[in-house]
A and B are shown apart, each in its own frame.
Chain A
Amino acid sequence: MSHPTPLMEEFRRLGKSVSCPIIDMHGHFGPFNGIFFPNVTAEQMVGSMDRAGVRLIVCSSHEALLVNSDTGNARMADVVRRFPDRFRAYWSVNPNEPDVLLRQLDGLAERKEFVGIKFLSDYHRYPITGDAYVPALKYAQEHRMPVLMHTWGGSKFDGPELVGEVADRYPDLVILMGHSGYGEWDVSISVARKHPNVYLELTAAYAVNGVVEKLVNKAGSEKVLFGTDLPWFDPHYAAGCILYAHISDDDRHNIFHRNAERILGQCGNPVRF
Chain B
Amino acid sequence: MTIIDANASFGAVYTPTLAPCRTPEELIAALDRAGVDRALVAADAIRGGCPSEMNVRAALELAPHARLMPVWAILPLETGEFGTRTEFLDSMKRYGVRALAAYPSKHRYLLDRVGCGELLDAMVECRIPLLLPLEESSGGVGGWALAEKLLSETPGLRLIVLGTGPWGDDRLFRPLLRSFPTLTVEVSRYELDGGIAALCGKYGAERLVYGSGYPHWAMGGALLTALHADIPEADKGLILGGNIARMLDEVTI
Contact = CB atoms under 8 A, between A and B. Distances in A.
Interface in A218-273: 228, 230-245
B18 A48 contact: no
A44 interface: yes
Interface stretch (B50-58, B106-114, B147-155, B191-199): B191-199
A234 B225 contact: yes
B18 A209 contact: yes
A5 to B, nearest CB: 11
Nearest to A231: B193
A37 B220 contact: no
Contact of B33 (A185, A211, A244): A244
B171 interface: yes
A244 B230 contact: no
B191 A244 contact: no
Interface residues of A, number: 47
A261 to B, nearest CB: 23
B30 A1 contact: yes
B225 A44 contact: no
Nearest to B187: A237
A207 B193 CA distance: 15
Interface residues of B, number: 38
Nearest to A213: B19
Contact of B227 (A12, A207, A208): A12
Interface string B7-34: 0000000000111000000100110011
A214 interface: yes
Interface in A189-204: 204
Contacts of B17: 209-210
Contacts of A11: 224
B230 A51 contact: yes
Contacts of A228: 193
Given A51-B228, A239-B224, A37 B219 contact: no
Contacts of A1: 26, 29-30, 33
Interface centre among B192, B198, B218, B225 (most CB of A within 10 A): B218
Contacts of A234: 191-195, 225
10 nearest CB pairs, A to B: A244-B220, A240-B224, A210-B18, A210-B19, A240-B220, A15-B228, A38-B194, A39-B194, A38-B198, A241-B218
11 contacts: A1-B29, A12-B35, A12-B224, A38-B192, A38-B198, A45-B193, A208-B18, A209-B216, A232-B192, A234-B225, A237-B222
